[in-house]
Amino acid sequence: MRLQSAIFMLEDTLLRGDGTAREGLEKVLSIFKMESVWMYAVTRGRSSEGESALKKAGLADYFRGVLAEDVALCPYDSGTMFERAMKRLHSDKPDTVVFAGRLNAIQNAKEAGFRTVAVRGAAGEDEWQAMKAAATETLERYEDYLAE
């Protein structure tokens, strides 16, 4: 199966606390774009704020859009949110991967039938260990993806 689409949790996998892109991320997104992987970001904030954050971080050109709780009317870390983003990408679950930085998001995405990548961010050591056990794949740092 080829990867057709990817869904990223904006606050947990794309941005640092200061709003800049996480180290190594842009190279990974560039590879995905070259391989025609369509990408969407999901956020707990408003869609307009998410779009502004992507622009400020220099990442907007990689994404087809941002889906937020105010539009989707569901929690940003829910299986329903990931399904709604997938539909906007005109993709199917076997061809879509969810990049998440929180254990509950990994669990919700898995329960909804998605492949998952746990991305280490703000998670403490105990949560990170649980994320690693629950996810399909893990990334401690985006540079690790490039080494594969």
Q: Give the model confidence (pLDDT) of 98-122 as tens digits.
A: 999 999 999 999 999 999 999 987 7
**What are 28-45's pLDDT values in tens digits?**
999 999 999 999 999 998
CA distance 103 to 101: 7
- At residue 1, the pLDDT reads 44
Taking the chain (148 residues) in runs of 10, the rounded mean pLDDT of each run is 85 91 93 94 92 96 95 94 96 95 96 95 88 93 76
Per-residue burial over 33-63, b = 16 or more CB atoms within 10 Å of its CB, e = otherwise: eeeebbbbbbbbbebeebbebbeebebbebb
**pTM of the predicted protein model:** 0.94
- At residue 122, the pLDDT reads 73
- At residue 2, the pLDDT reads 65
Percent of the chain with pLDDT over 90: 83
